[in-house]
Amino acid sequence: MAIKWTPNLSVGVESIDSQHKIWFEKANNLFQAGKSGKSKEVIAEMLEFLDDYTKVHFRDEEAYMEQIKYPGLEQQKTAHKSFVEELAKLKQEYQQSGGNIALIVNANQFIVKWLTQHISNMDKQIGTYIKSLQA
């Protein structure tokens, strides 16, 4: 299942939205690599990038929430920590499996679901909060 950014996933904060778009693009590249049977090394590199980028994005997003004194920061941190742990498990399972492509295809479903639900249910509230400050 391809993962695609759509405007309805916009948080309304340019820095967060632009990072989300890159995240979606990289997650989709990982899925496409697995689907087209790319080498284990290529997929491992993409998983590594996605893991690193996720940590950078969460750090930036959390710093922004601290800056604006966002009341849902602790819930966000908990959700972010959980996703990083799940991503690390997926990476480890992939390495231990010897490069099982089916694992990547299945992981895609987890990543798509988490990203879309997290952005829709949690991150969009950041944009709502910002608008309330401007009112």
- For each of the domains in the chain, give its residue range(s) and CATH number, in order of start: 13-134 (1.20.120.50)
What does residue 6 show for φ and ψ, rounded to 5 degrees?
-130, 150
Closest CA to 80 of 105, 101, 100, 61: 61
Residue with tokens 């639900």: 117
The pLDDT score that the predictor gives to residue 78 is: 97
pLDDT digits (tens, 9 = 90+) for 68-110: 999 999 999 999 999 999 888 888 888 888 777 777 777 777 8
Residue scoring higher pLDDT (48 or 127): 127
The pLDDT score that the predictor gives to residue 56 is: 94
Closest CA to 22 of 47, 54, 48, 44: 54
| CB distance 94 to 44 below 8 Å | yes
Indicate if the pLDDT at residue 1 is higher than 60: no
pTM score over 0.95? no
| CB distance 113 to 31 below 8 Å | no
